[in-house]
A and B are shown apart, each in its own frame.
Chain A
Amino acid sequence: MIEAFAADTVVPKTLDEASATMREGARSGTTVAFLGGGTEFGYGRLPDRVGTLLKTEKLDRVVDYAPADMTITVEAGVTLAAMQRTLAVNKQRLALDAPQPERATLGGLLAANTYGPLRTRYGTLRDLIVGIEMIRADGSRARGGGKVVKNVAGFDLPKLLVGSLGTLACIATATFRLHPLPEERRWFAVSGRTLEEVRIVCRAIVDRQIEPAALIAGYDGDSYTLYALFEGFGAGVAAQGMKFAALAAELFVTEARALEEAGEAAARDAQTRAFGSVRLRISTPPAFLPLLERGVLVPLRAAFEDFRLVLYPSLGIVFLSGFPRDPSAFVLEVERARTRVESGGGHLVLLECADPVAHGRIDPFGTPPDSFPIMQRLKERFDPDRRLNPGRFVGGL
């Protein structure tokens, strides 16, 4: 189905073949889109049709893995799960727990800047990438950064390409800094909370110098459950868990539960992102979150027939996905929510909208930022003929 929107689908087996495809596209003036595992293919205003769909699935080689240096260079089509399996042999990992790791490729994850709960401590791929090789619109290859973890030689092209949604260049390979696989990891949960209370716990965690690797909150239709992940060496994880439990007991006279199934909370997060016909993300100053509950989250939730909601309370991010009740009313509700969120210094991004009625009626990104003219000039410099995913990104970049 995805293929149907391209006149031609190319599956290069080598980077040289990928370059040749790009060069040919430049020669013939063909528009190009890129496809990894397809987990974020609904993100952005995808062009109705493109000339060439370049699939990265055969660009699946590990170019260089240096366990002692804790860096790895992979081609864009390597899936997150495959890479993590390679790294686990040496008790290492990429500190990224994005949803659907068996399908999601590093190239796609970079282009969409996808992340999971570990963002709480480790940031996004922007904070983990140290080098990139890109295939530019004309088919030429260019590198930025390198394979060492610290490097200020030249402009930071690796980070610049993160989240650019395939509109500046084709990501060919990427180099990442790695982290040790923790000896132990343990999830804890505190249930039956309001969003206000969730934020109070977050503040208390910071005040008391508790350092969770992840903090996410789920909504069960009535109240929020806060999940905290602790990672590290055994004794440290146990001590932190106890401290977190004590904090919950002190604040709410309720015990925090240790979750038997370590992956439960992460699975809940991943499930949210694969659920429904519409997915959206709200980003806001963290302290502003409780203020969103009545004016934004309650009406948005009501606009869904069935929904999943997960938020990252220490970062101010909400993921909401589901099936709209009445698509037209839903469109209005999203616009209303967006106005409120933007007035508080945040934004609302539609990550996917497969609902046939609502589709195309909501701008995926909202008001372009102040710096939009610079972004246009950047696009112009990297893709002067506007052939790479034309119009897909913010403001039609």
Chain B
Amino acid sequence: MVLNVAETVGAERELAAIVGPANCIVDPSELRTYECDGLTGTRVRPLAVVLPASTEEVAEVVKVARRHDLPIVPRGAGTGLSGGALPAVGSIVVGLARMNRILEVDFENQRVRLQPGVINLDVTAAIAARGYYYAPDPSSQSVCSIGGNIAENSGGAHCLKYGFTTNHVTAATIVTAEGEIVRLGSPFADALGYDLMAALVGSEGLIGIVTEAWVRILRAPETTRTFFATFPTTTEAASCVSGIVSAGIVPAAIEMMDRLAIEAIVKSTGVDWPLDVGAALLVDVDGPTVEAEHTLERSVEIARASGSLEVRMPRDERERMLMWKGRKSAFAAMGRISPNYYVQDGVIPRSEIGTVLREIAELCAREGFRVANVFHAGDGNLHPLVLYDARVPGQTEHAEEVAAEILRICLRHGGSITGEHGVGADKAQYMGEAFGENDLDAMNAVRCAFDSRRLFNPGKVFPTPRICGDRPGAYVPHATELSERAGRG
């Protein structure tokens, strides 16, 4: 089926009738805002953007899309870094920003029920007065939404000890590609049957639109202690990370920054970190006071034994927050040292950090790029930022190639192509290097159980088109693809 102008207008009119004309964006200049997410290099203009206010509206929107055979791209706050919310050609973007209410706080059972547009940090803000918090803390937590976090299975610095989004979201209401409203999981105890929350969290918008969720909330630990240690090179910093972990300590976070990252952060935030060091670690330990003090002492000893140049401890909470602000603003700070950067999110076994960082440095030197590293060292989740200048012809493509090679290095060391940013549109092409055909078929089986028509977020995650037939067979292009209205995937 090829959509003609009359039908397009018809679809738009139906959408506007559901969400109200003010919340159905079709004006090309207004659509520009939605052409990309945090992966700004790739832009596609959707057919329309709708901003529903309720689960029912989302379901009605999906039914319209289904009727007109238009792909749907769910969108949270649009801060994702892998193009997960990049519109498909001719798609309807469903933005959940208006569904941003916290619906229920249940301290007794330690749960919060909320809408997907709630900003991550606002969950904690709503419960902090009683001493509780929501654990997953992506660096973008002041702007990213819980719905987006669920789609990407977002991590963050403190996931080392406390787990990822998938460990903290226990139930969700979703709208399926059929337009049905279905509850998955169970707010409190174990759910019956297959663990569909496992399928949902991290599915990158391919299997359902989350319109409500239950999340676990935790009591803040009695004590959190932080230290910042500098090292001559990343090798000593990496050995400190290994030393702490093999001493039986589970820190709340261990973040590493290399020289270039420190330079960018200092220039951007004004923290007084030394510039003449090769690497720094920012470490949090927490828990009951006696335990936290003990692990702090041991960790600092290990840092010194690993060859640290200096160990600093914040004098008060304000200074501690400043250190963390420095770390969390690292990506934004890159603008101070480079016009553009391309960030990767590969993961490697923790013991390989030193080796892999050296390989990355060699690769970038060989190819003529500077690379900054700021990452979650405790779980081996690298964030190499390949610095480049888009104004130089060919450099963007070249930087992308180098970034791709970094992923291959991670894979060679037994790692993964993404630890928390997601595959999205950006890394779909590398999924075939990370997984075999059988693996992808199994994942596709999950997708097909939810969305056999591949209406949701086409072109993401899967490297090559996969159908939902009973048995794998030759690929049959969809009508919207033949007409080049829709991407594939």
Q: What residues of A have a CB within 8 angstroms of the CB of B422 in the complex? A: 152
- A142–B220 Cα gap in the complex (Å)? 40
A129 to chain B, nearest CB (A): 10
CB of A346 closer than 8 Å to a CB of B: yes
Query: A152 and B189 in contact (CB under 8 A), knowing A127-B167, A159-B166, A180-B250?
Result: no
A67: nearest chain-B partner, CB-CB: B246
- A113–B189 Cα gap in the complex (Å)? 13
B367-381 vs A: 1/0 string, CB under 8 Å?
000000000100111
Instruction: Let me know if A380 and B449 touch, CB within 8 A.
Output: yes
Instruction: Let me know if A366 and B192 touch, CB within 8 A.
Output: yes
CB of A246 closer than 8 Å to a CB of B: no
**How extensive is the interface on chain B, given as a class?**
35 or more
Q: What residues of A have a CB within 8 angstroms of the CB of B250 in the complex? A: 179-180
CB of A157 closer than 8 Å to a CB of B: yes
Instruction: Let me know if B415 and A152 touch, CB within 8 A.
Output: no
Q: What residues of A have a CB within 8 angstroms of the CB of B248 in the complex? A: 91, 180-183, 233
Interface 9-mer from A49-57, A189-197, A283-291 = A283-291
Q: What residues of B have a CB within 8 angstroms of the CB of A377 in the complex? A: 448-450, 452
CB of B289 closer than 8 Å to a CB of A: yes
A82-113 vs B: 1/0 string, CB under 8 Å?
00000000010000000000000000000001
CB of A207 closer than 8 Å to a CB of B: yes
Instruction: Let me know if A284 and B110 touch, CB within 8 A.
Output: no
Instruction: Let me know if A381 and B446 touch, CB within 8 A.
Output: yes
Instruction: Let me know if A209 and B195 touch, CB within 8 A.
Output: no
B152: nearest chain-A partner, CB-CB: A152
Q: What residues of B have a CB within 8 angstroms of the CB of A365 in the complex? A: 192-193
Query: A394 and B441 in contact (CB under 8 A), knowing A155-B447, A233-B295?
Result: no
Instruction: Let me know if B418 and A153 touch, CB within 8 A.
Output: yes
- A160–B287 Cα gap in the complex (Å)? 31
CB of A25 closer than 8 Å to a CB of B: no
A203: nearest chain-B partner, CB-CB: B108
Listed residue (A142, A283, A366) with the most chain B CB atoms within 10 angstroms of its CB: A142
Q: What residues of B have a CB within 8 angstroms of the CB of A206 in the complex? A: 110, 219
A113 to chain B, nearest CB (A): 8
A178 to chain B, nearest CB (A): 10
A138: nearest chain-B partner, CB-CB: B471
A39 to chain B, nearest CB (A): 18
CB of A351 closer than 8 Å to a CB of B: no
Contact of A285 among B187, B201, B421 (CB under 8 A): B187
Instruction: Let me know if A152 and B110 touch, CB within 8 A.
Output: no
B420: nearest chain-A partner, CB-CB: A152
Contact of A240 among B184, B192, B291, B438 (CB under 8 A): B291
CB of A263 closer than 8 Å to a CB of B: no
B306 to chain A, nearest CB (A): 14
B292: nearest chain-A partner, CB-CB: A236
Give the B-binding residues of A (Cβ under 8 A).
66-71, 91, 113, 123-124, 126-127, 134, 136, 140-144, 146-157, 159-160, 162-164, 168-169, 179-183, 203, 206-207, 209-211, 232-233, 235-236, 238-240, 243, 283-287, 315-317, 345-347, 349, 365-366, 368-372, 374-375, 377-382, 384, 393-395, 397
